[in-house]
Homo-oligomer: A and B are copies of this chain.
Amino acid sequence: MRVKTDEGFEDLRAIWMEDENIKMIDQRLLPHELRFHTVSDHHEVKEAIKKMVIRGAPSIGAAAAYGIAQAILKGDDLKETAEVIKSARPTAYDLFYAVDHMMENGQEKPKITAEAYVDSVVSKCKAIGDHGGKMIDDGMKILTHCNAGALATVDHGTALAPIRHANSEGKDIFVFVDETRPRLQGSMLTAWELFNEDISHAVIVDNAAGHFMHRGEVDMVIVGTDRVAANGDVANKIGTYEKAVIAKENDIPFYVALPVTTFDPDTKSGTDIPIEEREGEEVSKVFSKYIMPKNSPVMNPAFDVTLSKYITGFITEKGIFSPDKIGKLL
């Protein structure tokens, strides 16, 4: 991803390995400060994932792959390492996949295996951008929710890959960025990525997405996903369901961008996807100050499930598929 620096631009990934250390952009400090976080054992990998230094299913997968590689290089107990890393977050399928992949294939050449895994993540995202970018016409206005950008996927992004691709072809596009409460990944991260790429955009409160869709100002919605069930139901950041229903109501195409590995054939439908309930303070406090009565309870589901009937298509590295073609694809 392109990042503006004092000297001009730099091309960065969200996470990478240097010798036995794992380095990552500290996403908690964005958009105000670009600082790198170093992780040196699997407990720190878990903490970095849990505390959202790094977030987004593919970037979490990369952290897990590097984490196992690091443990192998250090001669740590691998069974314990795998358990610790897998326990970092419950919903992201990539986390489990990356750990299992490294346990099976990484024993001999851990770092090379991890790099190959991460590179394949990145090249899939680039391919998602190539396929999805073709659908974006000059002048289009696209709405996105949360951050399914390079920060979430090591590079390029899933939802942001088609947008980056269209921009790189010189198309004049505009992006509505849902701020995405409670953690504000839209305003904090997506806007930061678009600002760094000089892509025209505006941040809106999540409440305003429907207003702009209803007024005909949105041509397409593209989001990422954390897991897709075999029937095409999609788990993604809380609020995705609302945007999908409103898009359908207003005949706006609603796309989900993802690598094929995010399809989970073992999960039958959305009702089988566990929804992580996160701590109330994500909602009740901003900058450590309460924005509500201290004693009022909070309910804070991190994800929701969008039924496949609301989804126009899945943008993958293998092409674009409607929900009824998933069976064939898998």
Contacts and interface: CB of A to CB of B under 8 A. Distances in A.
Interface residues of A, number: 56
A3 B212 CA distance: 38
A284 B291 CA distance: 15
Given A203-B296, A283-B179, A300-B208, A291 B187 contact: yes
Given A195-B295, A201-B297, A208-B300, A287 B289 contact: yes
A201 B245 CA distance: 26
Contact of A298 (B202, B239, B304): B202
Contacts of A301: 208, 211
A195 B297 CA distance: 10
A304 B242 CA distance: 16
A241 interface: yes
B291 A210 contact: no
Interface in A227-282: 237-239, 241-242, 245-246, 249, 275
- Interface of chain A, helix or strand or loop or mixed? mixed
A287 B287 contact: yes
B292 A187 contact: yes
Given A209-B242, A211-B301, A286 B287 contact: yes
Contacts of A32: 290, 293-294
A181 B289 CA distance: 16
A321 interface: no
Interface in A166-219: 176-177, 179-182, 184, 187-188, 191-192, 194-195, 201-212, 214
16 contacts: A31-B292, A181-B207, A188-B291, A192-B292, A195-B293, A195-B295, A195-B296, A201-B296, A202-B299, A208-B299, A209-B242, A210-B304, A245-B246, A286-B286, A286-B291, A287-B287
Given A206-B206, A245-B249, 18 more contacts: A32-B293, A179-B291, A179-B292, A181-B207, A191-B292, A195-B293, A195-B296, A201-B297, A202-B296, A202-B297, A203-B297, A203-B298, A204-B283, A205-B239, A210-B239, A210-B241, A210-B245, A287-B287
